[in-house]
Amino acid sequence: MTTEEPRNLTQFKRYKTDEEGRKTFSSIEQIKTEASIERFYDRYEQLAALDPSLPKLLRTEHARYLETSLERLSCGYECLDSSRPWLVYWIMNAASVLGIKFNDSLLNRTVDFLIKCRGQDGGFGGGPGQDPHLAPTYAAVNALCIIGTDRALNAINRRTLKKFLWAVRESNGAFRMHVGGELDVRGAYCAISSAKLAAFSVEDEAKLFEGTASWIAECQTYEGGFGGAPDLEAHGGYSFCAAAALAILGGEDKCDLNALLRWAVNRQMAYEGGFQGRTNKLVDGCYSFWQGALIPVIQSLIARKENYPEIMNTALFNRIALQEYVFICCQKPTGGLIDKPGKPTDLYHTCYTLSGAAVAQHCETSKPPLILGHPDNELLPTHPVHNIPPKCVIDAYKYFLKNELIEAEHTNGEWNGVAEDTPLAATAGAEVDVVDVEMRERSVDSERSTASRSTVQSDATDSMSGATTSGTSQRSSEERSESID
């Protein structure tokens, strides 16, 4: 364990907001939020004096919440009917970080459901029969990679996915969220992440994402963070999308990384310990990941740009403070996690608060994990760029590399004398394929290295339109599915 210690929360009260005699709407809301968090911290200090193992990760309760949600959702999630692959992904990734495994029958039904969401012309829609959209495409690809079976990975049709990505691409390298839809940095990230996991060839990536890095760079603001599009306000979700896209694509030389890092580290709240998404906004549990993962991603970009690997040796945010906010303020005793005290549980915040805590524990990969409380509070690492388990990233990439030649030659009707109707699995051991793939798999080492350096580390059937508790957050479909926020 490293020497970083829990904060003296009583002493940290001196960092609470001082209105300086000028009340504003923002200051009033900030003080109310701090007061609600103060009650949680005061109670925790009293209980921790009696039980030093606190706080406790409520793993069993969260596991029950997630499995129940995967089987059946309450009417509170009806507004997310166009975001059902997101619900699957949030459940799957939260479960993977907690080390929870669902039974094979439930996972197969989940794959069946996601196949129904797949568009005939590529990509995935928000539900069966819905138009393909980059946000649920990203969510579906991630969820299928987490499941990781041959059947799950086969559900990602690389040929039609490529066709869909070309359909939403603009001539300048930007991406619309759907055909004729809005254009912002989320689209670029969702497209790039999906293409990388599906192991698009170097040539295909170069053509598909020509100009994309330059367009992303245009979204950087005077604050240092990135907006959703040029001339918009800097925002944690968009900044993550921009930096993560550049981590995959390259092009970090087009941005001011020091300004981005300065902006990102200043989004951690001094008293609360969690992150805000924008300047003068309130703390929000979801930014535990969007900002918490952004910081080590920026560090990896600086390491690559400036040949300065030493920058990865030390975390540049308070990892204990972030875990204090997540474990003390964001857990519900009945399972699931929240935005901030007083808010209801939902799957979105359950996924991203846990992902952020995992980043905080594991971001210094050369050292043991830094865990607040009992060692049983340890979470499994998540890949900081894709936000799925690092091994799932590597396994998916290798799977598609090994099958790329087989698919291409099978489509042409003959491969090494093998007839067109020969099952693909029967050709998998052919020597020429193995040799070619072994040469190309060297690129996996680079992907693995990136993951290691920066790892900070319903019914899945048609009844998915229902969700878990009647008190579930009623945020709009646009806020949840079409905004990585």
* Catalytic-residue membership of 278: yes
Q: Which amino acid is at 70?
A: L
Q: Which of 84, 169, 235, 383 is catalytic?
A: 235
Q: How far apart are CA 153 and CA 399, in angstroms?
A: 8
Confidence tier at 460 by pLDDT (50, 70, 90): very low
> For residue 251, what are its two tokens?
């092009």
Total domains present in the chain = 1
* Catalytic-residue membership of 339: yes
| 436 has a pLDDT exceeding 50 | no
How do residues 15-64 score in pLDDT, each as one tens digit?
Answer: 999 999 899 999 999 999 999 999 999 999 999 999 999 999 999 999 99
How do residues 170-181 score in pLDDT, each as one tens digit?
Answer: 999 999 999 999
How do residues 198-253 score in pLDDT, each as one tens digit?
Answer: 999 999 999 999 999 999 999 999 999 999 999 999 999 999 999 999 999 999 99
Q: Which of 79, 219, 241, 286 is catalytic?
A: 286
* Catalytic-residue membership of 287: yes
Confidence tier at 483 by pLDDT (50, 70, 90): very low
* Catalytic-residue membership of 42: no
Confidence tier at 430 by pLDDT (50, 70, 90): very low
Q: Which of 184, 346, 433, 459 is catalytic?
A: 346
* Catalytic-residue membership of 281: yes
Q: Which of 284, 433, 459, 485 is catalytic?
A: 284
Q: Which amino acid is at 352?
A: Y
Confidence tier at 160 by pLDDT (50, 70, 90): very high
Asked if residue 224 lies in contact with residue 235, where contact means CB atoms within 8 angstroms, the answer is no
Q: How far apart are CA 243 and CA 189, in angstroms?
A: 9
Q: Which of 287, 325, 348, 397 is catalytic?
A: 287
Which CA distances in Å does 75 have to 69, 172, 174, 209, 471? 12, 42, 36, 40, 10
Q: How far apart are CA 263 and CA 275, in angstroms?
A: 12
* Span 341-369, average pLDDT: 96
Q: Which of 84, 196, 349, 410 is catalytic?
A: 349
Q: What pTM was computed for the model? A: 0.86
Asked if residue 365 lies in contact with residue 452, where contact means CB atoms within 8 angstroms, the answer is yes
Which CA distances in Å does 146 have to 64, 167, 335, 383, 451? 19, 26, 22, 11, 15
Which CA distances in Å does 351 have to 121, 176, 420, 474? 30, 25, 43, 17
Query: Which one-letter DSSP state was computed for residue 375?
Result: G
Whether residue 476 lies inside any domain: the answer is no
Whether residue 457 lies inside any domain: the answer is no
CATH number of 347's domain? 1.50.10.20
Whether residue 478 lies inside any domain: the answer is no
Q: Which of 158, 178, 190, 339 is catalytic?
A: 339
Q: How far apart are CA 352 and CA 1, in angstroms?
A: 24
* Catalytic-residue membership of 349: yes
Ranges of H-type helices in 148-211: 150-154, 158-167, 185-197, 202-208
SS3 label, residue 189: helix
* Catalytic-residue membership of 475: no
Q: How far apart are CA 276 and CA 294, in angstroms?
A: 13
Whether residue 459 lies inside any domain: the answer is no
* Catalytic-residue membership of 118: no
| 474 has a pLDDT exceeding 80 | no
Domain hosting residue 341, numbered range:
25-73+87-399
Q: 100: closest CA among 73, 69, 127?
A: 69
Comparing 88 with 440, which gets the higher pLDDT? 88
Whether residue 431 lies inside any domain: the answer is no
Whether residue 440 lies inside any domain: the answer is no
Confidence tier at 428 by pLDDT (50, 70, 90): very low
> For residue 336, what are its two tokens?
């699931």
Whether residue 53 lies inside any domain: the answer is yes
Asked if residue 100 lies in contact with residue 106, where contact means CB atoms within 8 angstroms, the answer is no
* Catalytic-residue membership of 399: no
Whether residue 101 lies inside any domain: the answer is yes
